[in-house]
Amino acid sequence: MRALRMFNHVSLDGYFVDADGDMSWAHRSDPEWNEFVASNARGGGALVFGRVTFEMMANAWSGPDGAARNAVVAERMTAMPKFVFSRSLDGVAWRNSRLMKGELGQGMRNLKAEAGPDMVIMGSGSIVAQLTSARLIDEYQLVVNPIVLGGGRTLFENAERVDLELIASRTFGNGNLVLTYRPRPT
């Protein structure tokens, strides 16, 4: 059984996108942070997305702009297996992507049972909330950014209540805090 981990940036008030759907407030480049991001990208694994985040990621990383932004990340994002949960898409063009139709919970249970690397879900707030309620996320990694946004969308909108265990916390010089949690057994 392979694991599913969530990785997302959030503001101090808990939003992963601001009221305009923007995530650019989360970018705090410095050598220490860039090395953390590149090391994550080198770590391998498979990626899981909803449609909105998949399209944003494909846009950001699949073309020449992506390579210019961060060559290591762009190359790794393209090489990694990607699973896209969408009812409306008919196909996915980005290399190594697989479109998942049908019920989310069952689709994720099937993916977990397949052989393959562990999976990481990024962005994809509505899917994170549903998978949280279904208790299918094994680990949550949140980057708490030192900013108050005042509005936006949370990762857990209408999710069922889940008690967590704090596994690790790491502070960066740019003010980011990387927190790792696991659900407590019910």
Q: Does 119 bind a second copy (CB under 8 A)?
A: no
In angstroms, give the least distance from the CB of 42 to a second copy. 26
Q: Does 166 bind a second copy (CB under 8 A)?
A: yes
Go through the chain and tell me how many residues it has.
186
Q: DSSP states of 97-133 as a string?
A: EEEE-S-HHHHHHHHHHSSS--EEEES-HHHHHHHHH
Q: Does 126 bind a second copy (CB under 8 A)?
A: no
Pairwise CA distance, residues 10 & 107, whole Å: 26
- Cβ distance to a second copy smaller for residue 8 or 97: 8
- Cβ distance to a second copy smaller for residue 80 or 129: 129
Among 24, 29, 91, 161, binds a second copy (CB under 8 A): 161
Quick one: how far is CA 2 from the chain centroid? 16
Draw the binding track, 2-41, toward a second copy (x: CB under 8 A; -: no contact).
--------xxxxxx---------x----------------
Q: Which stretch binds a second copy (CB under 8 A): 50-58, 61-69, 85-93, 160-168?
A: 160-168
Q: Given the DSSP bridges, would you call strands 46-50 and 119-122 parallel, antiparallel or unpaired?
A: parallel
Q: Which distant-in-sequence residues (6+ apart) come within 8 Å of 138 by Cβ?
A: 3, 4, 5, 182, 183
Under DSSP, the state recorded for 184 is P
Q: Which residues bind a second copy (CB under 8 A)?
A: 10-15, 25, 129, 132-133, 140, 142, 144, 146-151, 154-166, 169, 171, 175-177, 179, 181
